[in-house]
Amino acid sequence: MNDASELHRTLVRQLRRLDLDPETMPSPASWRKLLDILSTTYTEADDERYTLERSIEVSSREMRGLHEVLSRQAFQDPLTGLPNRKALIRHLDQSLAACARTGQGLAVLYVDLDGFKQVNDSLGHAVGDELLVLASQRIRACLRPEDVVARLGGDEFVVVCPNVYDSMVVPAIAARIGSQLAAPFPIGEHDAVVSASIGLATTTDGSASAENLLRQADLAMYEAKVGGKARTAIFDESMQKVVDTRFSVRNALGRAITGRELRVLYQPLVSLADERVIGVEALVRWERPGFGLLSPDAFIPIAEESPLISAVDCWVLQEACARGGQWCEAGASIAVNLSARTLQQDDIVRTLTQTLTKYSIPPNRLTMEITETALLSGTGTAQLNLGRLRELGVNLSIDDFGTGHSSLSQLQQTDVDVLKIDQSFVSTMDHDASSAAIVSAIITLGHALGLTLVAEGVERPAQARLLREQGCDSAQGWLFGRPLEPEAIDKAFGLSLPEFSLSQRP
Ligand code: C2E
Ligand code: MG
Ligand code: MG
């Protein structure tokens, strides 16, 4: 429609048909202008519409992409790209349903890296991250196509193996994973070394829930850890019993403190030079109704998993100070064990100060025994508390020395007074030359650092003789006295009091 007058004529015809007056309508020239305006407007509108349509298309494509990324992220571990816990549970639910339908076995492997924290702490988080990525690839390479590996977080991976017909298949996969992860990881200029503790749980009828099967594999993994690491343990019901026992001990122990079921026995500490009693160590016992007298091994490790241990430690401290005032007046010292967790308590030094004041015990009569590992790997609060204890004038002793992981330089930096040589060395020193050499080296080292040496677990005269020859200061052990009721200690001090008080008072 290029010709404006043709257009005009057409319009006039149309207007007449509509009963409108063409004389009032614009001239052909004006129509041309109007047409141009209309045409430009329509073209622009078209362009805009096109642009709008395009952008809607792009946005919806982007939205779809974004949705995919988000749903991937919700089910994917961002570091390794493996399925995460949420995805694992979903997959495990589906696998369990398939297992229930088909009756074909399903196995779960819970893989935890041993020594990963050390790699992270010593070589840095970037190396740690790379190790996790490489570990995930190594695990993947050990699996069958139908197996799935997920990362739960940290250094924990879970493998789901469906269609298990042969009972040897999954242990063989676990063995492959174990050996692959034990090989060094070359990262940059480092060779990072870890190993794997693996727990295995299986079901043949799919009746377990995903969470339950995972928990069983986790328990088995824990067994592998405590059994010495770098190994695979298979879940069995006895592991569940151990957990139940732990749970019931924890519950009952909470009541034991208020119910006065705890007791303290005191083991004499003797000077090796003349075998006189120069102090005692407070050792807790639990008179548990229905179970008899329990030794600390049966409940202290469980208490140490929760704040209960601090309640136990503080109760023992209070009891020992209440009972041992006269022993301290006679010049003896009282040693009390302090677990790592208690040492990290903000208010432990205040509690200790109040207890000493309440029972008029001079701080230098009290020795706090702390294990090597607790002492050297303590957090900021623990280190702060150690400093405060020093300021207070309380003695510090490293318990079970030789069994932890302290380096000599750490020992040099740690401000303690006493080293207690672990009984594992003492018990064999009279028939094993290397144990005797270790004990001798510890004594020389301790003395060089100005510390007092105590040998633990002396049972035979030959051990006492050797220790004396090597210059050890004092000893504890059944040879000199088992952990005793406080009345027996009263008696011991009553008998040796005159001579004792003369030579031992500062
Ligand atoms: P520990 O502090 O190293 O205490 C020495 C342990 O060796 C005691 O065991 C003692 O009875 C035992 N022992 C002493 N002489 C001999 C000996 O000649 N031969 C043998 N075979 N053993 C001997 P116990 O009383 O069973 O205590 C075990 C551990 O429990 C203690 O080791 C200590 O680490 C912990 N413990 C005890 N009481 C407390 C407490 O109140 N708080 C905390 N946190 N831990 C405690
Ligand atoms: Mg001790
Ligand atoms: Mg000890």
* pLDDT by residue, tens only, the chain of 506 residues: 455 567 667 777 776 777 766 676 666 677 677 677 777 766 777 787 777 777 777 777 877 777 777 777 789 999 999 999 999 999 999 999 999 999 999 999 999 999 999 999 889 999 999 999 999 999 999 999 999 999 999 999 999 999 998 889 999 999 999 999 999 999 989 899 999 999 999 999 988 899 999 999 999 999 999 899 999 999 999 998 988 888 999 999 999 999 999 999 999 999 999 999 999 999 999 999 999 999 999 999 999 989 999 999 999 999 999 999 999 999 999 999 999 999 999 999 999 999 999 999 999 999 999 988 777 766 788 889 999 999 999 999 999 998 876 667 777 777 899 999 999 999 999 999 999 999 999 999 999 999 999 999 999 999 999 999 999 999 999 999 999 999 999 988 874 434 433 333 33
Distance CA 335, CA 333 (A): 7
Beta carbons within 10 angstroms of residue 7's beta carbon: 16
Q: How far is the CA of 407 from the centre of ligand 2 (A)?
A: 21
Name the phi and psi angles at 398, rounded to 5. Answer: -95, 115
Is-above-0.75 flag for pTM? no
Q: Which helix (H) or strand (E) holds 333?
A: strand 333-337
Q: What is the DSSP letter of 431?
A: T
**Ligand 3 centroid – CA 456 distance (Å):** 6
CA 287 – CA 293 distance, rounded (Å): 4
pLDDT at 107: 97
Task: Report the DSSP pairing between strands 452-455 and 474-475.
Answer: parallel
Per-residue pLDDT at 3: 57
DSSP 481: B
Pocket of ligand 1, candidates 456, 459, 474, 484: which has the most ligand atoms within 8 Å of its Cβ, to mutate? 456
Note the residue count of the chain.
506
Residue 216 has which token pair?
Answer: 């069983």
CA dist list (Å): 411 to 11, 344, 397, 448, 500: 107, 20, 12, 12, 32
* CA 399 to centroid of ligand 3, rounded, Å: 5
Q: Whose CA is nearest to atom 15 of ligand 1?
A: 477
Nearest protein Cα to ligand 1, atom 19: 457
- Residue 68 is predicted with a pLDDT of 77
Alpha-carbon gap, residue 465 to 236, rounded angstroms? 48
Nearest atom within ligand 1 for CA of residue 459: 18
Please tell me if the CB atom of residue 296 comes closer than 6 angstroms to any atom of ligand 1: yes
For residue 427, the ligand 1 atom closest to its alpha carbon is: 19
The protein residue whose alpha carbon is closest to atom 40 in ligand 1 is: 337
Give the ranges where 259-347 is alpha helix by DSSP (H): 300-303, 308-329, 340-343
105 lines ligand 1 (CB under 6 A): no
CA distance linking residue 368 with residue 382, whole number of Å: 13
Minimal-distance CA residue to ligand 1 atom 25: 283
Main-chain phi, psi angles of 266, to 5 degrees:
-125, 125
- Residue 203 CA to residue 332 CA, distance in Å, equals 61
313 CB-near residues (< 8 Å, 6+ apart):
336, 337, 338, 339, 342
In this prediction, residue 498 carries a pLDDT of 41
Ligand 1 neighbour 73 (Cβ under 6 A): no
Other C-beta atoms closer than 10 Å to the C-beta of 299 total 25
* C-beta separation of 201 from 171 below 8 A: no
